[in-house]
Amino acid sequence: MYRIGVDVGGTFTDLALVDREGRVVIAKCASTPPDPSAGLFEGLGLLASDLGLDPPGLLARTEAIVHGTTVATNALLERKGARVGLLTTEGHRDVIEMREGLKDDRYNLRMEPPVPLVPRARRLGVRERLRFDGTVATPLQRRSLAACLTKLARDRVDSVAVCYLHSYRNPTHEIETGRAVARRLPQAYVSLSSEVLPQIKEYERVWTTVVNAYVGPALARYLERLAAGLRARGYRGDVLIMQSHGGVAPVRESARLAAGAVLSGPAGGVAAGRYAARLLTEGDVITFDMGGTSTDIALLQGGEPQLTGEKRVGIARVALPALDIHTLGAGGGSVAWVDPGRILHVGPESAGADPGPACYAHGGARATVTDADLVLGYLDPGNFLGGRIPLDATAAQRALAEVARRLGTSVLTAAEGISRVVNTNMAEGIRIVSVRRGVDPRRFALVAFGGAAGLHVTEVARALEIRRVVVPSVAAVLSAWGMLATDLRYELVRSHVGEVGRMTAAGLRRLFGRLERDGRRRLGRFDGPIRVHRSLDMRYGEQIFEIQVPLDGVELGSSGLMTEIVERFHKRHEELYAYSAPGQEVVIVNARVAVVGGLPVLPAETIAASRRAAAGPARRRVWLGGWLEVPVYQMDALPAGHEAKGPAVFESATTTVLVREGERVTVTPHGWLDIRIG
């Protein structure tokens, strides 16, 4: 039986199939933005062909498909989501536009305010009011609600977001409103804040609920179309959707909480990095995922990624738990351009899958990072994606010639400049997730994956004085592979504001107990091992922002529970900000529970140390400040323990890795390249 991971990116759709012995078969094909499932089914056909099967035969032997999708992300970034109406407490319709009174560029007096996802005409106030403790100040006025629903029906909305003041303490009014919407607008997608994000802070709650309503219909339609297509091809197994928090959820839950999949694709890469760290027995890892459109970077300390509730996607604030991933507009398809001051820039615009870089010969005329890599000799034009996409070196030269003309330099110098600029941009991205947070990147290993990473990662590492780089053998599809190393996961939160000194251990235990029961109920008939992780959002009394304090290892039944929680908060505050204030009062704001259903462990195939490499490597000319003829090794043929020195090129059907002078390579037992620098 097989398991298949699918990662739909902006340029390529990646698939990784793993059998029960850990053997991996991979496929890579162009993404199909109008209908991402078309690229997915093409990739399934490639996998089936490699196994000597037809697609129905492959799917009949597949027990689970884990899918990372960009449907929700693209709908949000491209503003192609649903026509949303917002129902909120009377007098609070403009919360989403007030943005807490802040601007992205606070000193720019001419900055245009961002246009909200819901225009003011479709933001309607309903006469009702709850107090901060959840008691009713003004009952829900049915006549007021009916008038608002009539207006939304007239405006032909296809999605409704409902966010009433203090509904996180008492969801009664929202539930009643949801039922009224279902009766009056039966085709509308309904998003209730008490279900999406039942926690304090109105601005974040409104935004997250609106995002859920905005992307929900598109994601639901896509998942329905995908499920129907798989059923028509004979698939009867599970379809699990990658979530922003690094776990997976069934299709139905993913369609209901669509905002939880806004960072679905990048989360697969972090899951892969987490599993890679275990295989490498390396706790401190930075994941470096350079694809065709963007580069995603995440920091793992002690083998675990960080979660955050403060993600911005475009203009939107999504306060659901998500892996802390920093994304740059830097990938193989990033477009190079020269400004009026003759300064070279790379990205954030990408050539995408269509037309793609100039060397794809699909009509693209602007130079990209991939075009520069081809002109510099790093890529073999006849072996891109195993020869399925021949690269046009002449078209790449022509596109780079235009950049060189604007810079007043040669084509080679322009290509080298593009490579240096994009490397500098990516090194700065790593500094943002490490140095700016008080973490020294030099003690971390850099795990590189994505189709373009192997050609740039060692130069990025040198800029940061990182000494170890690891490139997995399935680097080009590692996000898809890593999705198979995830678990079912439900994140639950409830606001419960109060000073620790006024709370009882028994009350806290009851709160955690309710959240845990809810999470176990969502797991349904899951019969595997279940883990429960608890944490609290806490702050000092005068602060306005909280920090998350994990409670793993804390016994809820202990007599000193509240004292231990306070001590953990002081310690965590010290770790993050280099100080703590034991004399100040400590406030609990939110209780969080993650209920995790453990899925089967992803097996990892090892290779034999006795496997014999080819008699001698081929050779190719590459530009490294001058033309050099360097050996070209086939990664799939190298035995475990094989060592080589740079400069050299390592190739597989989907990955090319450039190793420079002064760098040493050892092949790991899993066939990965372990590169030591300096």
Task: Write out pLDDT tens, residues 68-118.
Answer: 988 888 888 778 899 999 999 999 999 988 877 777 777 888 888 888 899
Angle at 71 between CA 69 and CA 77, to 5 degrees: 120
The candidate with the shortest Cα–Cα distance to 281, out of 677, 599, 669, is: 669
pLDDT digit string, tens, across residues 178-223: 999 999 999 999 999 999 999 988 999 999 999 999 999 999 999 9
Answer whether 227's CB lies under 8 Å from 239's CB: yes
> The dihedral of CA 578, 581, 587, 588: what is its sign?
positive
Give the mean pLDDT of the chain: 90
Average pLDDT over residues 559-575: 91
The candidate with the shortest Cα–Cα distance to 18, out of 81, 88, 66, is: 66
Look at 545 and 129; give whichever has higher pLDDT: 129
Look at 386 and 668; give whichever has higher pLDDT: 668
pLDDT digit string, tens, across residues 114-155: 888 999 999 999 999 999 989 999 999 999 999 999 999 999
Beta partners for residue 591, in sequence order: 494, 536
The β-bridge relationship of strands 295-301 and 304-305 is antiparallel
Q: With bands split at pLDDT 50, 70 and 90, how would you rate the model's confidence at 604? A: confident
Answer whether 140's CB lies under 8 Å from 126's CB: yes
Provide CB contacts within 8 A for 346, sequence distance 6+.
Answer: 330, 334, 335, 336, 337, 369, 418, 421, 422, 425
Q: With bands split at pLDDT 50, 70 and 90, how would you rate the model's confidence at 614? A: low
Look at 610 and 647; give whichever has higher pLDDT: 647
Beta partners for residue 491, in sequence order: 594
> What pLDDT, on a 0 to 100 scale, did the predictor assign at position 420?
95
Average pLDDT over residues 624-643: 92
> What pLDDT, on a 0 to 100 scale, did the predictor assign at position 615?
62
> What pLDDT, on a 0 to 100 scale, did the predictor assign at position 94?
93
Q: What share of the chain has pLDDT > 70, as a percent?
A: 99
Name the DSSP letter for residue 368: B
Q: How far apart are CA 134 and CA 171, in angstroms?
A: 8
Q: Which whole-number Å values give the CA distances from 312 to 77, 305, 308, 366, in the listed order?
A: 11, 18, 11, 30
pLDDT digit string, tens, across residues 483-504: 998 999 999 999 888 888 888 8
Whole-model pTM: value is 0.86
Whether 12 shows a pLDDT value over 70: the answer reads yes
Residue 605 has φ and ψ, to the nearest 5°, of -70, 140
Query: Is the bond into 647 cis (omega within 30 degrees of 0)?
Result: yes
> What pLDDT, on a 0 to 100 scale, did the predictor assign at position 88?
97
First to last CA, the chain: 44
Which of 192-201, 319-328, 353-362, 379-388 ranks highest by mean pLDDT?
192-201
Q: How far apart are CA 651 and CA 658, in angstroms?
A: 9
Whether 448 shows a pLDDT value over 90: the answer reads yes
> Could you give the 3-state DSSP secondary structure of residue 429?
helix
Q: Give the number of other CB atoms < 10 A from CB of residue 629.
A: 11
Average pLDDT over residues 537-563: 89
> What pLDDT, on a 0 to 100 scale, did the predictor assign at position 629?
95
Whether 387 shows a pLDDT value over 80: the answer reads no
Answer whether 348's CB lies under 8 Å from 312's CB: no
